[in-house]
Amino acid sequence: MERRTIGAAALGVGAVGLGCMPMSWAYSASEQHGEGSLRTVHAALDSGTTLLDTADMYGPFTNELLLGRVLRERRHDAFVSTKCGLLVGETHIVANGRPRHVKRACDASLRRLQTEVIDLYQLHRADPEVPVEETWGAMAELVTAGKVRALGFCAVGARADRRAGSGSGIHETTIRQLERVQQVFPVSGVQAELSVWSREALRTLLPWCEARGVGFLAAMPLGNGYLTGTLTPGGGFEADDVRARHPRFTAEMMAANQPIVAGLRRVAQRHGSATPAQVALAWVLEQGRHVVPVPGTKKPHWARENAGADAVVLTAEDLTEISALPPARDSWD
């Protein structure tokens, strides 16, 4: 697989990463099986994927524990990215950016992951009660201590900004925070949503990263599974699945957005055995050499298919056709 470089720390990773969250958090609990997830991680590593993306809140904690079972055997094959800054309560999630918490969280993640160093340690969300510079300073001390190799920053979700009425100001809050922490310690990576049906990062956040040599980890590059073309409109989701409450996953909106999948399928057909998912990932890869899509999955065959997107080379005609696809609709429209 092609190698790409993340940020100022010049960390090399496979061009397509693996999002581990679905293995133990946010998606259909009935389909989360530990042994199957272990096979998925191994399949990804065997296919050339190196970046494994997790967080202490996934589970909580169980996602890191699962990865630790793989890393115990294959640490040299993997690039480990995990996150801190969010705590899961009984009814809601809260931010905690206090320096003492950050340092304790890092030590706990190292134990669960069964590793001596985290390659990329990301701030999952800035704590509104703590100056972001203080949180970032504590994270920088972890680099100095040799527990972390580089630091990353997760953007506020574009849809959350949209609900808050930011309009064209999507990601402006994140950029202001990035400018502040960059004065404390270099930002090596920024993680934010980017896909064929969620392109907000192209406006300001992606250019900010490119201009500063910062890597961009594209979260949800397959649109929570929609862009794979394998979901049936109206098929329903389990109550604990985030898509059950997602404004683009009502039966009406899934049907309305079918032209996007149809367009990806047309492009895929011009590339022999390529799939719509691989085309969607190839489009993300085309957005810059500093971009690494991180599709999430819990099935080995999807991990192998996603890794194969690296071999799909889109033509100018393909890119023009994808650019002309209609914007995604959701129940906020």
How confident is the model over 248-266, as pLDDT tens digits?
999 999 999 999 999 999 9
DSSP string, 24-60: TSSS-GGG--HHHHHHHHHHHHHTT--EEE--TTTTT
Q: What is the spatial distance between Cα 154 and Cα 144, in angstroms, rounded to a whole number? A: 21
Which H, E and C letters describe 57-72, residue by residue? CCCCCHHHHHHHHHHH
Which residue type, as a one-letter code, is found at position 241?
D
Long-range contacts of 204-212 (CB under 8 A, 24+ apart): 204/170, 204/171, 204/172, 204/175, 205/155, 205/171, 205/174, 205/175, 206/287, 206/288, 206/291, 208/175, 208/178, 209/290, 210/288, 210/290, 212/182, 212/187
Rg (CA), the chain: 19
**Of the candidates 130, 68, 121, 49, the residue with the CA atom closest to the CA atom of residue 95:** 130
Beta strands 3-6 and 11-14 are: antiparallel
Question: HSE on the CB side for 62, CA within 13 Å?
Answer: 15
* Separation in Å, CA 160 to CA 163, 164, 173, 200, 330: 5, 6, 12, 12, 13
Listed range (23-27, 195-199, 254-258) with the worst mean pLDDT: 23-27
The distance from CA 9 to its chain's CA centroid, rounded to whole angstroms, is: 19
The distance from CA 318 to its chain's CA centroid, rounded to whole angstroms, is: 24
The distance from CA 319 to its chain's CA centroid, rounded to whole angstroms, is: 22
The catalytic residue among 27, 58, 121, 226 is: 58
Over residues 324-328, the mean pLDDT reads: 96
Beta strands 11-14 and 18-19 are: unpaired
Q: What is the spatial distance between Cα 242 and Cα 244, in angstroms, rounded to a whole number? A: 5
Structure confidence by residue, pLDDT tens digits, 54-102: 999 999 999 999 999 999 999 999 999 999 999 998 778 999 999 999 9
pTM (predicted TM-score): 0.95
Which residue type, as a one-letter code, is found at position 80?
V
Domain coordinates in residue numbering, the chain: 3-221+288-299
CATH class, domain 3-221+288-299, is alpha beta
What single DSSP character describes residue 5?
E
Structure confidence by residue, pLDDT tens digits, 263-312: 999 999 999 999 999 999 999 999 999 999 999 999 999 999 999 999 99
Contact between 87 and 119 under an 8 Å Cβ cutoff? The reply is: no
Listed range (9-13, 147-151, 284-288) with the worst mean pLDDT: 9-13
Q: Which two tokens stand for residue 83?
A: 């996150």
Sorted by sequence, the CB contacts under 8 Å of residue 42 that are 6+ apart come out as 70, 74, 300
Is 58 an active-site residue?
A: yes
Q: Which residue has the tokens 């950016």?
A: 97
What single DSSP character describes residue 90?
S
